Amino acid sequence: MSIELKGISKRFGEVNAVADVNFSVKEGELVALLGPSGGGKTTVLRMIAGLEMPTEGDIFIGGQRVDDISVQKRNIGFVFQNYALFKNMSVFNNVAFGLKIKKVSKPEIEARVMELLQLLGLSGLEKRYPHQLSGGQRQRVAIARAMASKPKVLLLDEPFGAVDAKIRQELREWLVTLHHDLNVTTLFVTHDQEEAMEVSDRIVIFSNGKLAQIGSPRDVYERPVNEFVARFIGVMNVLELKVSNGKGHVGELQFPLPDGFTADTARIGFRPYAVQISTDVTQYRYQAILRRTYFLGIMLRLELELPSGLKIRSRMTKEEYSQLALYDGCDVSFQIREFRYLGSENSGLRPELLNINELPPTYGDHI
Amino acid sequence: MAGSVKHKFSKRQSVSRRGAEEPPLVKWILIFIGVSFAMVFLLLPLLSVFVSAFSAGLGYFIEALTTHDSRSAISLTLLIALITVPLNVIFGLAASWAIAKFEFRGKAFLITLIDLPFAISPVVSGLVFILLFGLQGYFGQWLDDHDIKIVFAAPGMVLATLFVTFPFVARELIPIMQAGGREQEEAALTLGASPWQMIWYVTLPSIKWGLLYGVILCNARAMGEFGAVSVLSGHIRGETETMSLRVQSLYEDGGTSETAAFAIAALLALLALFTLIFKTYVEWKSARNHLIAEHSEISKHLSEPAS
């Protein structure tokens, strides 16, 4: 089922946890709600489930307004951050709970539970109690329990937060497969941008209770609407420019300005991969020293220092690095292939500032 | 210099081999002090109660317990426990639920208030009710006009016991409910459970051992209370005497009654032993249910002598 939020706000006393959030999720989509902790994403998820009531606005599930429908009747599957398995019940009874409440017949319950346990690779564990399970198994029991009565929507709160890194990777891949098999509209909350990028069809990014950006992983990475999103999704060099003679300056670097730009300062951002390096110090416009190389597996991150002391980050593959015969302390020249003007974190959502960001993302090699 | 370094090193090595362990002598002295103290001040008096109770033979022991006044004392004690324990269970559930699951103004005050009976001498707790319901008290005249007897009668004794045993169940449940959080209950709701189904299938099973533990302690105190009940009892034999009060009055009578006093005291001591055994069982059982951490802290607090 589709989900739609219209003008949703939530206040806890004086605190605006969520402010005027609008977005919609199409049927069968897998969507991540991403943001730093305290950003309001969990509150949004809980409002969709009916565990919290919005202070303002309406929520539609499958086109039907659900504001007056209680949590019990919304027929959503909710997976809690710490799984919230019923400690006093076996795996079987945990998964069967919702069906028993709905007075489904015994043979039907038996069949459905066994089918789900099979699907989630939990066969043979039905008599175990939650404290006898590993973190990954608990997680899957929680998902099986949420899926038991065939909900229209599956909501997961930080689904991989409480398991260790290796299992997290497995669970991610497994969630994508499961979503593909069941094709149920799925929303999950995460503060891990990598997780959101890897798993979801689209990402909804929250900042301080406001919606910062919605888009595919590629969209938000390549076309962040503001500095907050840009810094949150991946690594970005962010520089503050002073404006004079129709150009933006910082240290040795010079950037063209968009037409009609009038302010004294501007902020720009560029990804490390956009910094192109050569050992021929005359090949590109700017000169720098390679200060330090960080090995991140297949990719390397390079820290360049300009004569003025300005530092910027670049990245390249191991092959490129050895082809160029780079070493810490060597002289290089570089150019910045593409960059973006950024709205500030607080004002980034105001439309009058957004138009700066609607410049074509690439300014090419003419810097 | 090399020598001194070597010396230091070897010295440290010899210390670290023993680690943080105490020398055996210290260990045995501490064990001896602990055990002998418990023997002399706890076990010996308890044994002497039973020895005195049976000093005139089993026949007299049974006779002492079955006189009209003794039977009346036993049934009044049971009646008081039968009224106060369920009421405290209801109150304890409501208060701990409110404190653990909701945020409201005056929450800290309510928690302090629950502890009040622990802090106040039971005699004062009794006097409070005299002040309220006695003939000279605020409601005394009105009660007298309507021919309702509270003070120096069973209702007053129930009230006093209720006051004194007030914290036991609530104090036991608050930390368990707080540790449990709301997630399991919310999970039940998202799975379609009504609030009553949620309480029945999720909340109560998760607190049942803590609740039982609170009930045991509450019951022991309700049956054993002396101070507050004494103030509100009219000390009318066969009418307003509980077991603990009867022990005192028989003992004051002297002579053969003293043995009867010990017979009743032995019965109370048996109740205490039974409580201890049951308590140990529940602790063991709830430890198996991963609740031990919460318990050790509270039981320490609750086992302090109250009067």
Residues A212 and A321 in one domain: no
* Number of domains chain B contains: 1
Query: Residues of A with CB below 8 A from B206's CB?
Result: 87-88
Residues A187 and A310 in one domain: no
Range of the structural domain that residue A91 is part of:
3-222
Residues A187 and A249 in one domain: no
For residue A132, what is the DSSP state? Answer: G
The whole-chain average pLDDT of chain B stands at 82
- Gap from B183 CA to chain A (nearest CA, Å): 5
Contacts of A220 (CB under 8 A, 6+ apart): A203, A205, A213, A229, A233
Whether the model clears a pTM of 0.90, i.e. scores above it, the answer is no
Closest Cβ opposite residue A76 in set B183, B190, B202: B190
Residues A157 and A10 in one domain: yes
- Gap from B281 CA to chain A (nearest CA, Å): 19
Would residue A230 count as lying in a domain? no
Query: What pLDDT shows up at residue B135?
Result: 78
Would residue A342 count as lying in a domain? yes
A254: domain CATH number?
Answer: 2.40.50.100
Q: Cα–Cα distance between A340 and B239 in angstroms, integer?
A: 91
Residues A254 and A159 in one domain: no
Q: Looking at A222, A254, A272, which one is the last position of a domain?
A: A222
Query: What pLDDT shows up at residue A36?
Result: 87
Query: What pLDDT shows up at residue A313?
Result: 92
* Number of domains chain A contains: 2
User: CB-based contact (8 Å) between A284 and chain B?
Assistant: no
Q: Looking at A222, A245, A265, which one is the last position of a domain?
A: A222
Query: What pLDDT shows up at residue A219?
Result: 86
Query: Residues of A with CB below 8 A from B211's CB?
Result: none
Cβ contacts below 8 Å, chain A against chain B, sum to: 61
B190, B209, B211: best mutation site toward chain A, by most A Cβ within 10 Å?
B190
Residues A65 and A162 in one domain: yes
Would residue A367 count as lying in a domain? no
Would residue B118 count as lying in a domain? yes
Residues A10 and A82 in one domain: yes
By the 8 A CB rule, do A146 and B192 touch?
A: no
B162: domain CATH number?
Answer: 1.10.3720.10
Would residue A227 count as lying in a domain? no
Residues lower than pLDDT 50 in chain A = 344-367
CB contact under 8 A, B290 and A76: no
Would residue A71 count as lying in a domain? yes
Range of the structural domain that residue B84 is part of:
54-302
Would residue A365 count as lying in a domain? no
Chain B residue closest in CA terms to A73: B192
Residues A29 and A170 in one domain: yes
Residues lower than pLDDT 50 in chain B = 1-16, 291-307
Would residue A364 count as lying in a domain? no
Q: Cα–Cα distance between B63 and B44 in angstroms, integer?
A: 25
Whose CA is closest to A36, among A175, A166, A158?
A158
Query: What pLDDT shows up at residue B303?
Result: 43
Q: Looking at A222, A244, A273, which one is the last position of a domain?
A: A222
Element (H, E) at B34: helix B24-38
Query: What pLDDT shows up at residue A39?
Result: 82
Query: Residues of A with CB below 8 A from B289's CB?
Result: 87
Query: What pLDDT shows up at residue B37?
Result: 92
Would residue B42 count as lying in a domain? no
Chain B residue closest in CA terms to A142: B187
Query: What pLDDT shows up at residue B289?
Result: 60
CB contact under 8 A, A51 and B190: yes
Would residue A245 count as lying in a domain? yes
User: CB-based contact (8 Å) between A49 and chain B?
Assistant: yes
Residues A168 and A213 in one domain: yes
Query: Residues of B with CB below 8 A from A84's CB?
Result: 183-184, 186-187
A164: domain CATH number?
Answer: 3.40.50.300
- Gap from B221 CA to chain A (nearest CA, Å): 30
Residues A217 and A331 in one domain: no
Residues A65 and A193 in one domain: yes
Residues A196 and A340 in one domain: no
Give the phi and the psi of residue A315 in degrees, each rounded to 5.
Answer: -145, 155
